[in-house]
Structure 1
Amino acid sequence: MSIRVLPPQLISQIAAGEVVERPASVVKELLENSLDAGAGHIRVDLECGGLRLIRIRDDGRGMGREELPLALARHATSKIASLDELERVASLGFRGEALPSIASVSDLILTSRPHDADEAFSAVGVGDDDPPPVRPASHPPGTTVEVRDLFARVPARRKFLRTEATEFRHAHQVVRRIAASRFDVAFTLRHNGKTVLELAPATAAAEREDRVARLFGQDFLAHAVALSETAAGMQLTGWIATPGFSRSRADLQYSYVNQRLIQDRLFNHAVRASYQDVLHNQRFPAYLLYLSMDPAGVDVNAHPAKAEVRFRASRQVHDFVHQSLKQALRAQGGHDQAHHVPLPTSFDPAPAPRHEAGTAGSSPIRQRGLGLGEAAATYAFQQPASTPATAVAAAPPDEAPATPRLGYALAQLRGIYILAENAQGLVLVDMHAGHERVLYERLKTALGEGRLISQPLLVPEVVDVGEAAADVAEQAATQLAALGVELDRQDPNRVTVRALPTLLGEVDAAALVRDLLSDLAAEDGPGRIARMQDELLADMGCRAAIKAGRRLSLAEMNALLRDMEGTERAGHCNHGRPTWVQVDIADLDRIFMRGQ
């Protein structure tokens, strides 16, 4: 095929790929235009998740008759006029691509009226370089953009869209993210004629906190630390959650630079480093942060879809964010108190009769059966009455059976590790990781065999999860119940936890449910419960497993070791970390130079 110039319509449709991926991307571009126009109230109306209709009305500056055709022309904008202005751009949009790109793949009507004008005008986007017709219209001061039948002109693109509910969830998320960036603006979101979100301007501190709670859940705000730091011409404000509110995904991480939502690896690394000593590396912190700085210090033209930025003084920004968050966490004690969760019934020792010492001159000792089966029960732990349970050595009698693979517990170290002795030498066990794998495999087996039993909560727990997560809970209630998790929606932002799998024992129901709904919200399309079944069960196992800092008796430690020996893939936890390591006696001899 010979080289040829593409027709304008095709050029516009190719360019639309950078801007228009789904209804949510249209909502984002149009909301940014409204904010750049100085809107104080923005109303978003969607039908069928935005596939049938996206209508955004604002009370911003508006446009006159002569400006409407230019607004629909490619690369026409009022926001910048020179390279110098591009390098210091403070507006959200600046390329002049959004409206013509949207018009090229849908039916678009633009209606506007300036505040100092007596009449409004309307233009119909035609998706090419021909000037659109402009005609009088009835409209209050401000602008309305109406987009109907998205991708009607590019039918193949519709095959890549998800269900109406999924597309609406993405659009709803966009509105929430932008509403979190502009507390001074009122937002209304309606879907299929129903008001889903209505936010008044929030100027006072209490009003801003109320908006944050409505957008991201009351629990986030309850665990959040407010911060406000200034240095080197930069200001960092917002909220960061304490480590105890960590997430299984990075789904509650919002960072803004000069009111623009950003994705920046350097910024994210600075935040992550702030939590390094207080948060497990498989968990994600939750935060809502606003960085204000000279627009010349950040390049917002670094990505075709404006999804990423580049800081000119990257090290300075990194250090400022890192130190600000680290100081805020330190002021709160750096970490939450450990949760002491009672172990499942299988870990309770069975009482046994007392026995006297077998050797002359020894202290009185006690011997307990462990309720772990016949072989394990024949092994006696001898413990002087004055010796702490976490510092007991095991001395098996001559008639003891063969030592199990993970041996017998000797002690517990720092409330984290179990020290055990087997035939090869010393075994070190991460008790949380080991218990996590045991619970996960038991849940999978019970589900596969149709015997995953739910235990009703003595007192149902109401959990504030935010509106988006509550939507997910409502949509997936039946499938979650099949996994033993029974929820129902209490109101737009809260769910009630009524039952959890019996195998989990006592567990933090609120934290578990937040993690499950967070994972589900990140997965699109029908059948997501089935696709994510193992991941959801792993979340349950992780939340219910023994926590660091829990002091175990020798009987409980040995019960866990026996359970691990009877569990598939017990050498690694659900996240891939090792659960135990072997240190041979020969290695210990070399360390201490015995026999040399």
Structure 2
Amino acid sequence: MPIRLLDDRLISQIAAGEVVERPASIVKELVENSLDAGACWIQVDIEHGGLRRIVVVDDGCGIGAGELELALARHATSKIDSLDALEAVASLGFRGEALASIASVADLRLTSRTSAAEHAWCVDAAAPDRARPAAGDTGTRIDVRELFARIPARRKFLRTPVTEFTHIRKAFNQLALSRFDVGFVLRHDGNEIARLAPARDDTSMRQRVATILGAGFDEHVVAVDEQAAGMRLTGWVATPGFSRGQADRQYSFVNARPIRDRIFNHGVRLAYRDRLHNQRHPAYVLYLSLDARQVDVNAHPAKAEVRFRQSRLVHDFVFRSAARALAAVEATPHPAREVALPVTDIDCSGPGAGSGTAAPTTPGGPMPGPSRSFDWSSAPGVAQRRAAYAFQSPPADSRSTADAPAREETAAETETVPPMGYAIGQLHDIYILAQNAHGLILVDMHAAHERVLYEQLKAEFSSGPIQTKRLLVPETLSLSEAEAAAVEAGAEALALVGLEITRSGPASAVLRSVPALLARSDYVALAYDVVAALGDGLRGADGVRDSIDDVLADMGCKAAVKAGRRLTIAEMNALLRDMEHTDRAGHCNHGRPSWIQVDMAGLDRLFLRGQ
């Protein structure tokens, strides 16, 4: 086939593929134009998932009758006029191709009126030079019908109306979060799906966020407001208790522009590194403001991605700001929250985190395993703590707690009651019940111990090489060939976390030493779990460094005391004291809360005391 020039219509239809991917793309482009026009209210009407019709109406400045035809032309815009303007563009739309691209793949009618005009004017994309008078208020109305009707090859790749409307709803939510000062209405097949009034104060903003992200997010929200180096980060992040199995509650904006940026998202993710583990994802709504010249918004055809001129500076600023907000909420108790029963006030903040420093125990302390005997009393430091609190600890071989209430009442009357109080019993060998000056504390012993172990391992690792204990009789590990290869490639990383594992055959390895802190745990099962979890993550020096925290978190989780393990009062109190000296003790490595507080007022309401 000889080389030839394509006709203008085919060129427009090919170019439209960069702008119009599905009905949600049209909604995004049209609503962004409405926002640039200064609209205070924007209404979106959808029919049949957007396949049949999309109507966007705003009360913005409108388009003059003499510019309607030009508005539908390719690369025509009022938002930039030079390269300098492009480098500092602040508007959402600026390429002048959205309306032209939409008109090339669907039927489009544009109706608009300026405040100075006596009436509105209307034009069809099929005949842009034939504008005619029409009825309408100040603003713009764009009616798009039969998307891809003239391009069957594109239309067959669209999903069902339900799926397409789901994408529209996501785009609508993202746009509604980008501008709180604008009201939004969404209708589908005649039914009003959402109506969001303009929000101009913190309370109404939080209400809009809760409407879009759910009440659960609002209950776990932490405000962010940081400034540095000409940048400002505001918004909200959720505590680890609201972590998600997928990244469906993550909204990021740069200069009020919705974006997806790897640098930005990684900075936020890094702030949760010690708080979330495995495949959990944080939830957040964050707004970054900076000089428009420091960000390139022309990096993606759909303007969904940006490039920062100082990406490392942005990354570190976002990381520090989010981490500081999360650390502050762990150091300062949350307001009481009502959970489970409407009469109970719950405080899920981390105990004793205000110190800001971890107090690791000496390496070598025994830790519980799933099948080994657990003797917390021999751990370094526990003897001293037991002596200090001997008045509330029964003999180690005693399982009776009959005199616990009397002991705890006496302790509560002293001025030295620690924040986590004193243990009074164990519920179904899963939860520790403790009493402090405020009321009842319930502790998930596995979650709490998991965090304590993890922080101890991190503190030991950061202070130098982890102390190890060499096994008198090395253990042989039966592995798959892939796992054996991973052990051989990751020997250096395994040694950094105190595990000496060497490959001894095509599908076998030998475990020769383990971290001294975990020497009395089921270290064979731990070694299998760590090897299985590492895979290719330890290849190369960068992979080693990036995987250290994950390995330590895995080790802490596997070695922590399990449900069903019966503890003595002394062992429970030793765990409570460790929690008081552990950073981020309010949540385990997976983001689950490790303890809750039920105050006396909540208990009184539960039993109707004083009513």
Residue 29 of structure 1 aligns to which amino acid in structure 2? E
Pair 1:300-2:395 in alignment: no
Superposed CA offset, 1:2-52 (max 9, x none): 111100000000000001111100000000000011100000000001110
Q: Contact conserved, 1:329 with 1:335, CA < 8 A, in 2?
A: no
SS at match of 1:250: coil
Residue 100 of structure 1 aligns to which amino acid in structure 2? A
Q: Contact conserved, 1:415 with 1:550, CA < 8 A, in 2?
A: no
Q: In 2 relative to 1, CA 380–262 (structure 1 residues): closer, same or farther, beyond 3 Å?
A: closer
Structure 1 residue aligned with 2:110: 110
Q: In 2 relative to 1, CA 334–552 (structure 1 residues): closer, same or farther, beyond 3 Å?
A: farther
* CA deviation after TM superposition for structure 1 residue 321, in Å: 1.0
* CA deviation after TM superposition for structure 1 residue 249, in Å: 0.8
Residue 301 of structure 2 aligns to which amino acid in structure 1? P
**Distance in 2 between the 1:381 and 1:185 partners?**
60
* CA deviation after TM superposition for structure 1 residue 319, in Å: 1.6
Structure 1 residue aligned with 2:606: none
**Distance in 2 between the 1:275 and 1:380 partners?**
34
For residue 210 of structure 2, the aligned residue among 203, 209, 213 is: 213
Higher helix share: 2
Q: In 2 relative to 1, CA 42–428 (structure 1 residues): closer, same or farther, beyond 3 Å?
A: same
Pair 1:237-2:234 in alignment: yes
**Distance in 2 between the 1:249 and 1:335 partners?**
28
Structure 2 residue aligned with 1:226: 223
SS at match of 2:330: coil
| Runs of at least 5 residues in structure 2 that lack an aligned partner in the other structure | 335-370, 378-393, 399-445, 454-470, 476-519, 533-556, 568-589, 591-611
For residue 181 of structure 1, the aligned residue among 153, 168, 178 is: 178
Pair 1:101-2:135 in alignment: no
Pair 1:268-2:251 in alignment: no
Structure 2 residue aligned with 1:553: 565
5 Å-filtered alignment, 1:182-201, equals 182-201=179-198
| Runs of at least 5 residues in structure 1 that lack an aligned partner in the other structure | 338-375, 390-411, 438-544, 556-576, 578-596
**Distance in 1 between the 2:208 and 2:161 partners?**
26
Q: Contact conserved, 1:242 with 1:335, CA < 8 A, in 2?
A: no
Structure 1 residue aligned with 2:66: 66
Q: In 2 relative to 1, CA 278–66 (structure 1 residues): closer, same or farther, beyond 3 Å?
A: same
Structure 2 residue aligned with 1:484: none
For residue 415 of structure 1, the aligned residue among 443, 449, 452 is: 449
* CA deviation after TM superposition for structure 1 residue 227, in Å: 1.3
Q: Contact conserved, 1:247 with 1:283, CA < 8 A, in 2?
A: yes
Q: Contact conserved, 2:74 with 2:100, CA < 8 A, in 1?
A: yes
Q: In 2 relative to 1, CA 122–327 (structure 1 residues): closer, same or farther, beyond 3 Å?
A: same
Q: Contact conserved, 1:121 with 1:137, CA < 8 A, in 2?
A: yes
Structure 2 residue aligned with 1:75: 75
SS at match of 1:13: helix
* CA deviation after TM superposition for structure 1 residue 238, in Å: 0.2
Alignment: residue pair count: 386
SS at match of 2:85: helix
TM-score, normalization by structure 2: 0.58
**Distance in 2 between the 1:158 and 1:304 partners?**
20
Structure 2 residue aligned with 1:428: 523
Structure 1 residue aligned with 2:281: 284
Q: Contact conserved, 1:120 with 1:139, CA < 8 A, in 2?
A: yes
5 Å-filtered alignment, 1:575-594, equals none
SS at match of 1:196: strand
5 Å-filtered alignment, 1:379-418, equals 415-416=449-450
* CA deviation after TM superposition for structure 1 residue 158, in Å: 1.4
**Distance in 1 between the 2:287 and 2:447 partners?**
41
**Distance in 1 between the 2:189 and 2:277 partners?**
42
* CA deviation after TM superposition for structure 1 residue 174, in Å: 0.7
Structure 1 residue aligned with 2:140: 143
Q: In 2 relative to 1, CA 226–190 (structure 1 residues): closer, same or farther, beyond 3 Å?
A: same
SS at match of 1:308: coil
Structure 2 residue aligned with 1:85: 85
Residue 191 of structure 2 aligns to which amino acid in structure 1? K
**Distance in 2 between the 1:276 and 1:15 partners?**
41
Superposed CA offset, 1:464-484 (max 9, x none): xxxxxxxxxxxxxxxxxxxxx
Q: In 2 relative to 1, CA 414–96 (structure 1 residues): closer, same or farther, beyond 3 Å?
A: closer
* CA deviation after TM superposition for structure 1 residue 547, in Å: 11
Residue 57 of structure 2 aligns to which amino acid in structure 1? R
Identity of aligned residues (%): 56
**Distance in 2 between the 1:554 and 1:267 partners?**
45
Q: In 2 relative to 1, CA 430–200 (structure 1 residues): closer, same or farther, beyond 3 Å?
A: farther
Pair 1:158-2:155 in alignment: yes
* CA deviation after TM superposition for structure 1 residue 422, in Å: 11
* CA deviation after TM superposition for structure 1 residue 133, in Å: 2.0
SS at match of 2:115: coil
Superposed CA offset, 1:252-284 (max 9, x none): 111100000111111111111111111114211
TM-score, normalization by structure 1: 0.59
Q: In 2 relative to 1, CA 549–39 (structure 1 residues): closer, same or farther, beyond 3 Å?
A: farther
Q: In 2 relative to 1, CA 382–226 (structure 1 residues): closer, same or farther, beyond 3 Å?
A: closer
Q: Contact conserved, 1:421 with 1:427, CA < 8 A, in 2?
A: no
SS at match of 1:198: strand
Superposed CA offset, 1:346-393 (max 9, x none): xxxxxxxxxxxxxxxxxxxxxxxxxxxxxx9xx99999996589xxxx
Q: Contact conserved, 2:521 with 2:559, CA < 8 A, in 1?
A: no
**Distance in 2 between the 1:184 and 1:429 partners?**
59
**Distance in 2 between the 1:272 and 1:225 partners?**
15
Superposed CA offset, 1:222-253 (max 9, x none): 10101111112211100000011111111111
Superposed CA offset, 1:203-236 (max 9, x none): 0111111111111111101101011111122111
